[in-house]
């Protein structure tokens, strides 16, 4: 996460030299990249994951995002590992440096405490935003109905509903293609996504949502 934060700060600090139009700044990612995009969007303003070794010009950068796109993104590491299989448990242990399983998937991995798991779960910060009166930027989420790794029920809808509570349902769109797997790209509603992007760029919210959050 330090690397993502470093990259975002570098982009902002060097936008002119890179010939970048920063009038609209959207961060996006899929799967583990979606997790990183959400974490950066939710914590960048606090500098929580800023590398202390950054040069002073990058430390001074004020980061904010006009929108977030997260596709099949893990959001709650308290439940992600429960799907089992060869990917979720070891991947989560590698990120956290500890395990919620007993015995752990990786031999010798120590047990996690709740604070560590919550620290790396986007859902923690999304819920806190509403409690603290922080308005989150517009977001577009996509999760596949046939995805057996990142589940709609535990990783998708809890985050979507929490984001809508802190951003507003009109600016929180989501797409749940029934035939979508973890490789969701071919099943995403491109028309809805493009409409959302147009709305973010114009800051004018028109057109139907891909779906309406449940809460």
**Into how many domains does the chain fold?**
2
Confidence of residue 45 (pLDDT cuts 50, 70, 90): very high
pLDDT in tens, 96-127: 999 999 999 999 999 999 999 999 999 999 99
Average pLDDT for the chain: 94
Task: Say if residue 130 is in the same domain as residue 190.
Answer: yes
**131 and 105 belong to one structural domain:** no
pLDDT of residue 207: 61
Domain extent for 20: 2-76+121-202
> Is 90 in the same domain as 45?
no
Does one domain contain both 33 and 72? yes
Q: Are residues 126 and 110 in the same domain?
A: no
Same domain, residue pair 13 and 47: yes
Q: Percent of the chain having pLDDT more than 70?
A: 96
Q: What confidence category does residue 208 fall into, taking pLDDT thresholds of 50, 70 and 90?
A: low
Residue 54 has pLDDT above 70, yes or no: yes
| pLDDT score of 211 more than 90 | no
> Are 63 and 127 within one domain?
yes
Q: For residues 150 and 187, state if they share a domain.
A: yes
* CATH code assigned at 191: 3.40.50.1820
pLDDT at 82 over 90: yes
Asked whether residue 212 carries a pLDDT value surpassing 50, the answer given is no
Answer whether residue 75 shows pLDDT above 50: yes
Tell me the mean pLDDT in the region 53-75.
Answer: 96
Cβ atoms of 66 and 200 closer than 8 Å: yes
pLDDT number for residue 210: 54
Q: Are residues 96 and 31 in the same domain?
A: no
Note whether 181 and 127 are same-domain residues. Answer: yes
Residue 185 is given by DSSP the state G
**45: region left, alpha or beta (phi > 0 left; psi from -120 to 50 alpha):** alpha
Q: Mark whether 109 and 174 lie in a shared domain.
A: no
Q: How far apart are CA 103 and CA 34, in angstroms?
A: 28
- Supply the pLDDT for residue 205: 81
pTM: 0.94
| Together in a domain, 88 and 193 | no
pLDDT per position as a tens digit, 182-205: 999 889 999 999 999 999 999 888
Residue of 137, 12, 192, 155 whose CA lies nearest to 74 = 155
CA-based angle 196:142:195, to the nearest 5? Answer: 15
pLDDT of residue 215: 39
Compute how many other C-beta atoms are within 10 angstroms of the C-beta atom of residue 149: 18
């Amino acid at each position: 996460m330090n690397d993502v934060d470093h990259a975002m700060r570098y982009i902002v600090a060097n936008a002119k030299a890179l010939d970048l139009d920063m009038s609209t700044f959207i961060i996006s990612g899929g799967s583990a990249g979606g997790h990183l995009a959400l974490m950066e969007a939710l914590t960048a303003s606090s500098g929580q994951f800023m590398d202390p070794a950054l040069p002073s010009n990058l430390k001074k950068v004020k980061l904010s995002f006009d929108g977030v796109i997260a596709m099949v993104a893990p959001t709650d590491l308290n439940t992600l590992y429960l799907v089992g299989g060869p990917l979720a448990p070891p991947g989560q242990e590698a990120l956290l440096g500890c395990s919620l399983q007993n015995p752990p998937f990786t031999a010798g991995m120590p047990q996690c405490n709740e604070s560590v798991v919550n620290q790396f779960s986007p859902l923690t910060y999304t819920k806190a935003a509403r409690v603290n009166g922080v308005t989150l930027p517009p977001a577009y989420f996509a999760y596949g109905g046939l995805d057996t790794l990142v589940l709609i029920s535990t990783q998708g809808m809890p985050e979507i509903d929490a984001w809508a509570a802190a951003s507003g349902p009109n600016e929180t769109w989501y797409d749940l293609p029934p035939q979508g797997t973890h490789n969701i790209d071919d099943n995403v509603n491109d028309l809805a996504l493009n409409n959302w992007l147009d709305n973010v760029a114009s800051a004018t919210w028109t057109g139907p949502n891909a779906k309406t959050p449940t809460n």
